[in-house]
A and B are shown apart, each in its own frame.
Chain A
Amino acid sequence: MEGMNIVVCVKQIPDPATPGALDGSTNALKRDGKLILDESDAYGVEMALQLAAANGGGDVNIVSMAPNGEMSGMRTALAMGAAKGVLISDPALAGSDALTTAKVLAAAIQKMGSADLIIAATESSDGYTGTVPEQMAEILGLPSVTFAKKLTINGSSLQANRQTEEGYDEVECPLPAVISVTAGVVEPRYPSFKGIMAAKSKPIDTFTAADLGVTPTGWAGAGQKVVAVTQAEARQAGEVIEDDGTAFNKIVSFLENLKVI
């Protein structure tokens, strides 16, 4: 194979370090303010860069969807070494469900040209619906391996270790294919200073939903509607003590009281 063409789907999310909040009018997660590259996606970017390097080079490109033109998270992926980005930015896409997101990303991937491999995280860290990679595969008519924790390419097929309830399965899958990778599958590199500077001038093409021929469904057409938001009954904190060297006795008494020892 003469170099691989790999597309990595990335999501730009609110910084998980800041507390999440719901928008009062839509009851959706607030996604205003600065967005960062979802940490889960850094593994996919790293995996793509390693696979491209090990299989004769080729391009690693990234694709992302955001309602507000946000690119800062994509720049992080470009700084790691991806060649270029495609951003689908359209206010009409706000409120999209996972299926619409998959349709948009699939259309963008088709527009980008023939990809040998499409990589995504298993789920985002903010919405965690967890269905977009498999939905994209179905839209594109491609095979898929979700929850891959090890991935190698051998000519025109890939071998993946796929997470299962009891352990893992070895899966053989012809290319092109869609893969979702678990966190920890590789160690993501930190962008170098040179990489960060280079990323500033790397191209990011921007499309609207209309450019891709996808009809945005938005809030009204998502097929789902939030009807109530309530606070769960909070668990009460119990006794907290500083260990003075004898706290283990306290744990034993606690377990004895519960009659589990």
Chain B
Amino acid sequence: MAINSIWVFAQTAGGAPTTGTLELLTKARSLSSNVSAFIGGDASAVAGALGEYGATKVYATGDLAGKLPGPAVSAAMKAIIDGGDSPSVIMFPQNYEGRDVMARLSVKLNRTVLTNNTDIADSADGVVATTPIFGGNTLVNTAFTGEGPHLVSFRPKSFAAESASGAAASVVAASVPDTGAAGAARVTAVHVEESTGPKLDEANIVVSGGRGLGEAGSYSLVEDLAKLLKGAPGASRAIVDAGWVPYSYQVGQTGKVVKPAVYIAAGISGATQHMVGMKGSKNIIAINKDKEAPIFGVADLGIVGDVHKVLPQLIELLKSRG
């Protein structure tokens, strides 16, 4: 077996580890009994939760004081590796910070990266990661051929997070060396886009709108339906790019991955980019004018029709039922 120890790049939100972090820890501990979390920030509040999900140790940089995680955390990781603790594998979430830290570290270590994965195995071929391509229709297994640490990132919801009832992880300081010009960018303000109702990637029902809505004003139909169903509104990349809704609404390869009980696609044709983000939904309802639209190929219920007619009728009926 090629894996001795694993690091997981850990992130927090609202004082707790993110779901994505717990997903990666759960997978990591199935591959190795020596799992550490590595966090760009302070770990005292989360060492308990990280330990519960399988980390025995957590390396923590302490407060980054506005530094971007890419240069800072990768430099701290490099220093620990140079100091003698070199893991076989470092797992990253496929998100903004995960990609930046992984990319900077790949240059510092001169190692390749495998991104957009949904699985990892320790096999006769070595450490093998699985990536879905062509909208998830084809799975490619790729083995690392060089020396570790192997740098690999995973899409959200690739693994189910399960507690291991582990003891709190021991916190080890990982100081950030001087990063020079490369680390000169600073965060000067943080903006949180408030949304009411359940979070898009945690909602039981997601209603998403696309170009078929015709104009930005029609997106309110999607929001109204989502609210009535106690779900979250989402969007295709096309209408996010067009500026109708914020990026945080985007479902797809470059947005959120959702797996709700019900996914309703309104006026979405089903580009590969979008399908990757919602194909794991338990049930899919699609409404689209074009009966050839690819979205109907994955829909459990497909309505060939005009969203401007179907959605208002649906909203009225649901309202009348209270």
Contact = CB atoms under 8 A, between A and B. Distances in A.
Bound together: yes
B253 to A, nearest CB: 7
A232 B136 contact: yes
DSSP class of A's interface residues: helix, strand, loop or mixed? mixed
Interface in A130-184: 130-135, 137-139, 141-147, 149, 161-174, 177, 182-184
Interface stretch (A61-69, A107-115, A247-255): A247-255
Interface in B111-155: 111-116, 125, 128, 132-134, 136-146
A205 interface: no
B115 A131 contact: yes
Interface in A199-217: none
Nearest to A132: B103
B13 to A, nearest CB: 7
A166 B193 contact: yes
A27 B146 contact: no
B302 to A, nearest CB: 4
- Place the interface of chain A in its size category: 35 or more
A1 interface: no
Contacts of B103: 98, 131-135, 138
B279 interface: yes
Interface in B92-123: 94-96, 99-100, 102-104, 106-108, 110-116
Pairs A-B, 10 closest by C-beta atoms: A243-B305, A223-B112, A134-B103, A240-B302, A184-B241, A238-B300, A131-B103, A173-B185, A167-B193, A138-B107
21 contacts: A27-B140, A129-B113, A131-B113, A131-B115, A132-B103, A171-B186, A173-B185, A183-B241, A222-B112, A228-B140, A237-B302, A238-B300, A240-B299, A242-B305, A243-B303, A247-B305, A251-B264, A251-B285, A251-B301, A254-B300, A260-B262
Given A138-B74, A145-B68, 14 more contacts: A22-B138, A128-B115, A137-B104, A138-B71, A141-B181, A173-B184, A173-B186, A228-B140, A229-B138, A242-B291, A243-B310, A251-B264, A251-B301, A252-B318
Interface of B: 13, 18, 68, 70-71, 74, 94-96, 99-100, 102-104, 106-108, 110-116, 125, 128, 132-134, 136-146, 180-193, 204-205, 229, 237, 240-243, 246-248, 253-254, 261-262, 264, 279, 283, 285, 287, 291, 296-306, 309-310, 313-314, 317-318, 321
